[in-house]
Structure 1
Amino acid sequence: MTLTPPASAFDLDSQTLRVIAAIAEYGSITRAAAVLGFSQPAVSQQLRRVEARLGMPLVTRSGRGIRLTDAGEVIARHAGAVLTALDSAAGELSDLAGLRAGRVRLSAFPSASSTIVPRLIQVMGAEHAGVQFTYLEAEPPEAVAGVRDGLSDIAIAFHHPADRNDPFHDSADGLVVHRLMRDDILLLAPEGHPGVTDAAPAHRVDLADFRAENWIAGCPRCRSHLLDSCARSGFAPAIAFETDNFVAVMSMVAAGLGVALLPALALTASPVPAGVVALPTTGHDHRVIVAVTRPGADHIPAVRETLRLLRSTAA
């Protein structure tokens, strides 16, 4: 006997769910297609087929971009939970195959891109060659949002535990946060600066000794951390330059344009140039590197194994 389920115009496949979730996240068919690894015409054609079957539009133009219609919003709202369940089922099947297959969608911030991520993928490839990775570089807010919306399995992110205004915990509310490592925040200054030469015996510097300097700020979250760190030392920094390129930050310090705070992980990725020193602070400033997943994602064997290797490679 053949089982033939009743057909419904509202039956939705997983590819449609992923497409709608990606459009909701990025507000662009082109960007959604790139993230999902499809061509833009293929995604547009998929949308047209689904809209014809449903009898209602899922996207509409909004200025230079697009936005979801009410029907599209309904699908996007349920997509994350449904995709998590489907990925979990696929993961259990992968477990039966002994991790000879599987896919992990990973995102991480820039300094992790050149340090943690390459080593992780290399080790995973050596131990489980059948597991495939897709990777997208994104700052923590976008990376965590991608996990929440079902576009990524694991986001490598960071937060500053001492900061009053760090929005990380709110952004990760309802998700699972796996601690990976502590990453010290170092002050970069020109050699010979009095605040460096007069550093404490343990070679830690007091940010207050640099209150009169120009400061170089980074990404929005790093800039917020700079403001909080200086506030704890009793002053507001004079921010003269802003760039999220940590190599540019080091070059600016080397050129005598100012001082800056950078995490040790960034200095692992690129050597400190001549004429610049990097020292820890008297406030023991640091950030915490974490991996963020959806609840239940570690039931997927490939994700669970990636988290295990992440902990070991980060350590």
Structure 2
Amino acid sequence: MIEARHLRVLRAVSTTGSFSAAARELGCTQPAVSQQMKALESSAGTPLLIRTGREMRLTQAGEALVRHASGILAGLTAAEEEIAAIAGLRAGRVRLVSFPSGSSTLVPGALAALRAAHPGTQVSLVEAEPPRSVEMLRDGDCDIALAFRYGTAGGEWDDLVVRPLLKDRLIGLVPEGHRLAGADAVDIGELADEPWIAGCPRCRRQLVEVCEESGFTPRIDFATDDYPAVIGLVGAGLGVAVLPRLALESVRPKGARTVTVEPAVEREIVALTLPDLARVPAVAATLDQLSRAAAR
């Protein structure tokens, strides 16, 4: 196997014309140069140098190897510098996938802090709800997935690195003129006869489960993944809804009032990555900033 250190010795011998001169240039001993040249010729399987008096002359194979050595060594140097930049967070790329309410609340502060601390690190962002975002992570289409779950489904993410960020409580949303608009807290059973506006599929399933545990099945008149649309429909008096607190942080509920719903239902917000990716400096730094953003 041809090693980079052997190529450096060959190039020095070719440039200086002798083992002793090459040794002086490289800062090593002449026997060390001779030993490395023997190892290189053994790996190449053919002589690379011919001694002519006090000087060394390259064979045809030696000339070919020297021609390629410069490009190989230059490529290795560039690779070493790039890797050092990535390891030192002077460069790097992170592909982030987030659900919409996370994109509008947690992600902006985290990415702004990351850019301030490590301006050479580039982050791309696309939106996807779990479980699609988790599938993208496992398929290699992203480096970090911002996701959520209700309860703790056993084994769901056992193959991933899970960074817990926060617990996000569901908040009730009713029209301004609703009979419960001024209530401090509302038992979800008091909304049994109301028309409902439901959110994303995972949130929809959770809504049905919570309502059934309280003794009724919600009549879902409208379903949309767009939280502003949910708020708009409630504000227009077309039904009631429960939304995560994060979803309400970035949208002004015009025409609607928020109420605390009992029993309390929370979703767990997490950042997910693969075990190998968790050791990549840019990915680790992004996870840290997401944790700090969630704590604010």
TM-score (norm 2): 0.69
Q: How far 1:150 sits from its partner (Å)?
A: 1.6
What's the C-alpha RMSD, in Å, of the aligned pairs? 2.3
Looking at structure 2, the residues matched to 120 and 245 of structure 1 have their Cα atoms a distance apart, in angstroms, of: 23
Q: Which residue of 1 aligns with 2:117?
A: 127
| Contact kept in structure 1, 2:165 and 2:271, CA below 8 Å | yes
Matched, 1:147 2:137: yes
Match of 2:235 among 232, 235, 254: 254
Letter in 2 for 1:308: D
3-state SS, counterpart of residue 115 of structure 1: helix
Change (3 A) 1:246 1:169: farther
Matched, 1:191 2:191: no
Looking at structure 2, the residues matched to 98 and 114 of structure 1 have their Cα atoms a distance apart, in angstroms, of: 29
| Contact kept in structure 1, 2:137 and 2:273, CA below 8 Å | yes
Match of 2:166 among 181, 192, 196: 181
Looking at structure 2, the residues matched to 241 and 310 of structure 1 have their Cα atoms a distance apart, in angstroms, of: 33
Aligned pairs, number: 220
Looking at structure 2, the residues matched to 117 and 94 of structure 1 have their Cα atoms a distance apart, in angstroms, of: 27
Q: How far 1:172 sits from its partner (Å)?
A: 2.3
Looking at structure 1, the residues matched to 170 and 260 of structure 2 have their Cα atoms a distance apart, in angstroms, of: 7
Looking at structure 2, the residues matched to 93 and 144 of structure 1 have their Cα atoms a distance apart, in angstroms, of: 28
Looking at structure 2, the residues matched to 94 and 314 of structure 1 have their Cα atoms a distance apart, in angstroms, of: 30
Q: How far 1:296 sits from its partner (Å)?
A: 3.0
| Contact kept in structure 2, 1:184 and 1:280, CA below 8 Å | no
| Contact kept in structure 2, 1:145 and 1:171, CA below 8 Å | no
Larger radius of gyration: 2
Q: Which residue of 2 aligns with 1:114?
A: 104
**Percent identical residues:** 46
Deviations 1:143-195 (A, max 9, x none): 11111112211100001118xxxxx6554231121100111100100234333
3-state SS, counterpart of residue 106 of structure 1: strand
Q: How far 1:283 sits from its partner (Å)?
A: 0.9
Match of 1:222 among 186, 203, 212: 203
Match of 2:276 among 274, 283, 296: 296
Looking at structure 2, the residues matched to 180 and 160 of structure 1 have their Cα atoms a distance apart, in angstroms, of: 14
Q: Which residue of 2 aligns with 1:138?
A: 128
Q: How far 1:280 sits from its partner (Å)?
A: 2.1
| Contact kept in structure 2, 1:94 and 1:301, CA below 8 Å | no
Letter in 2 for 1:284: A
Looking at structure 1, the residues matched to 239 and 176 of structure 2 have their Cα atoms a distance apart, in angstroms, of: 12
Looking at structure 2, the residues matched to 272 and 118 of structure 1 have their Cα atoms a distance apart, in angstroms, of: 21
Deviations 1:209-248 (A, max 9, x none): 0100000111110110110111121110001111111111
Q: Which residue of 2 aligns with 1:211?
A: 192
Gaps of 5+ in 1: 5-88, 163-167
TM-score (norm 1): 0.65
